[in-house]
Amino acid sequence: MTRLLYALCAADPARQFSPHVWKTVMSLAHKGLDYETVPVPFTDIPAIEGGCTATVPLLRDGERLVRDSFDIALYLDEAYPDRPSLFGGEGGKAMARFIENWSQSALHMAVTRIAILDIHDMLAPKDQAYFRRSREERLGASLEEIAAAGRAEVEGFAKRLQPLRNMLKAQPFIGGEGPLFPDYIVFGALQWLRTTAGTKVLAEDDPVAGWFARCLDLHGGIGHRVTAA
C-alpha cells in the first residue's frame, strides 16, 4: 500500500512550504510511516482526487482520504495506535486545539505579511495570478501594501513567541521531554517563514531558536529537506 501526501509547492516542485503540510510531514515521520509526496501548485489543487478538496494537505492512505492537518493527525493516532502517539491522550488533543488557535491567530497573519511577496515570487506565473487575486480579495489590500505592513511585523515577531519561550524554561518541547503534535503546529508556522522569506526573526541565543533547531533535526532531519529561502 502506497500512502500519498498531496503537498503545496512553488514553481520548483521540491520547494514545499505550506505550514499545514509541514504539520503532516512531521506527523507521518513521528509515526514512522512511509509515503510518497505529490507536489501540487495552487491552481492544480481543485483537480486532485476527483476534486474532493479545496486545500492541502490531503492524505490518501489506501482507500481512505483525509483532509486537514489536524484531522490527519487524529486519524493517524486512531489508525496506528501501536506507533508513537501524536497527542498522548485526550488532554493532549485539547492542548493541541488551543495551540493551533494560538498559532494561527498570533503567528500566521504575521508570517503572511512578512512573506507574501516572497511567496508570490516563488510561484509559477498562473499561480502568481491566482495568489495575487485571492489574497488581495481576502486581505483587502495589494500584495505590496501587505508586504509594507510586514516590515513592522519582523521587529515584533519574537515577542509573539513569549508564551513558548517561557515554557521552554521548564521543558525542551511543548510535548514535554519529546515532541507531540502541538510542537509540529508551531514548527509549521516557523518553517513556512523559513522556506519562503527566510527572514531572521529570532536571535541566535533565543530559546525558541534552539527549540526550532531541535525540531528541524527531528526524525532524521526531515525539516531540512527544504532549504531556507
Domains of the chain: 3-79 (3.40.30.10), 90-224 (1.20.1050.10)
- Residue 1, pLDDT > 80, answer no
pLDDT digits (tens, 9 = 90+) for 128-177: 999 999 999 999 999 999 999 999 999 999 999 999 999 999 999 999 99
Q: Say how far apart CA 160 and CA 116 lie, in whole Å.
A: 19
**Edge-to-edge strand order for the sheet containing 64-67?**
36-40, 3-8, 58-61, 64-67
Q: Which among 198, 37, 224, 36 is positioned nearest to 117, based on CA atoms?
A: 198
Q: What cell does 38 get?
A: 505529490
Average pLDDT of span 8-19: 98
Q: In this structure, what DSSP letter does residue 227 have?
A: -
Inter-residue contact 114 to 153 (CB < 8 Å): yes
Predicted local confidence at residue 222, as pLDDT: 98
Inter-residue contact 183 to 136 (CB < 8 Å): no
Q: Count of residues for the chain?
A: 229
Whether residue 179 has a cis bond before it, omega within 30° of 0: no
Bridge partners (DSSP) listed for residue 9: 16
Residue 2: pLDDT band (50, 70, 90) is confident
pLDDT digits (tens, 9 = 90+) for 165-217: 999 999 999 999 999 999 999 999 999 999 999 999 999 999 999 999 999 99
Q: Which among 27, 45, 38 is positioned nearest to 2, based on CA atoms?
A: 38
Cα dihedral 148, 152, 158, 161 sign: negative
Whether the full predicted model's pTM is greater than 0.75, yes or no, is yes
Bridge partners (DSSP) listed for residue 66: 59
pLDDT digits (tens, 9 = 90+) for 46-100: 999 999 999 999 999 999 999 999 999 999 999 999 999 999 999 999 999 999 9
Predicted local confidence at residue 10, as pLDDT: 98
Q: Is 159 exposed, middle or buried (0-12, 13-18, 19+ CB in 10 A)?
A: exposed
Predicted local confidence at residue 43, as pLDDT: 98
Long-range CB pairs of 121-125 (<8 Å, 24+ gap) are 122/10, 122/11, 122/12, 122/15, 122/17, 122/196, 122/229, 123/10, 123/11, 123/41, 123/42, 124/10, 124/11, 124/41
